[in-house]
Amino acid sequence: MSSFQDFVDSQLVRGRAYFSKAVALAEFRQTPQALQAAIARLTRKGGLVSPRRGFYLILRPEDRLLGAPDPARWIDPLMKHLGFDYRISLLRAAAFHGSAHQAAMVFQIITSRQLPKLEIGRQRVEFLYQTPGSFAESNRPEWLSQLKTEAGYAKIAGVELTLLDICRYFHRAAGINGAAQAVHDLGKKADSRILAKAASAYENSAVRRLGYLLERFGHIRQADALRPFAAKAKSFKALDPASKPIVAELKMLEEKSPVWKLVVNVPVEIDL
């Protein structure tokens, strides 16, 4: 390449609004010091931003207002650069599958590594940790979907994993009512056989939470697939473990679900 700008333009022509330092060194054919100086110059001009060391996003004029492109356009190459598997999930996945009420203010990723969140301009990416064993068990290609963007494809949780994830990490997904909304909207689309298989990778309490919400909204076939998990439970758990009654007397009024062994300690409200 005759100039660093030529290299950047060639990336954009190929639909890649990103590059790694290794790729730039191979194609720009200059010393590492010259490359770093060129990167610094373009960064100062507002043409580049780096979400992680050695990985750069190319900012087109329309991206600069938000500070970075939509993470869906670059999360797959970033995770490949880091060497970690992943899936997009929670509210972004729920919206992808048709939960029209879900507004994802944060782009959320499930991975088996504990990674710090990213904040680039107005774009926010949050990494949620799933233990390596559970992640490997659940992140099967046949249980994932593909989110198509102009830059390619990104891995996104299928309907079943979306529901399980949103009931496992509901505090990161607009609370119990955010989870309930997703279950109401998407429950009928879930394959009960996949639900039963995938649920084994999740905490029993999260599976019971999902089962309770599926049953509550009339998705009986899907709920029935999760009943064996509830049958194994030895004690009741709160629907929302973080919610505590302000007045002790209110605890006496809490509803119980004997089937799912849950104490329904918070009201469940959704938009219809």
Q: What is the mean pLDDT of residues 172-190?
A: 93
pLDDT digits (tens, 9 = 90+) for 93-149: 999 999 876 666 889 999 999 999 999 988 999 999 999 999 999 999 999 999 998
Residue 154: per-residue pLDDT: 95
Mean pLDDT of the chain: 90
Cα–Cα distance between 3 and 249 in angstroms, integer?
73
The structural domains of the chain, with segments of one domain joined by +, span 4-66, 72-229
Residue 37: per-residue pLDDT: 93
**Is the CB of residue 206 less than 8 Å from the CB of residue 167?**
yes
**Is the CB of residue 212 less than 8 Å from the CB of residue 236?**
no
DSSP state letter for 247: S
Q: In the predicted model, is pLDDT for residue 189 greater than 90?
A: yes
Cα–Cα distance between 7 and 20 in angstroms, integer?
12
pLDDT digits (tens, 9 = 90+) for 63-78: 888 888 899 999 999 9
CATH no. of 4-66:
1.10.10
pLDDT digits (tens, 9 = 90+) for 24-58: 988 877 888 999 999 999 999 999 999 999 999 99
Higher local confidence (pLDDT), 245 or 222: 222
Q: Is 184 left (phi over 0), alpha (psi -120 to 50) or beta?
A: alpha
Cα–Cα distance between 150 and 17 in angstroms, integer?
10
Cα–Cα distance between 17 and 70 in angstroms, integer?
11
| Residue 249 confidence class, pLDDT cut points 50, 70, 90 | very low
Q: What's the pTM value of the predicted model, to 2 decimals?
A: 0.90
SS3 content of the chain, % helix, strand, coil (to 5): 50, 20, 35
Q: In what order do the strands lie in the sheet with 262-264?
A: 237-238, 262-264, 255-257
pLDDT digits (tens, 9 = 90+) for 223-247: 999 999 999 999 999 899 887 654 4
Percentage of the chain beyond pLDDT 90 is 69
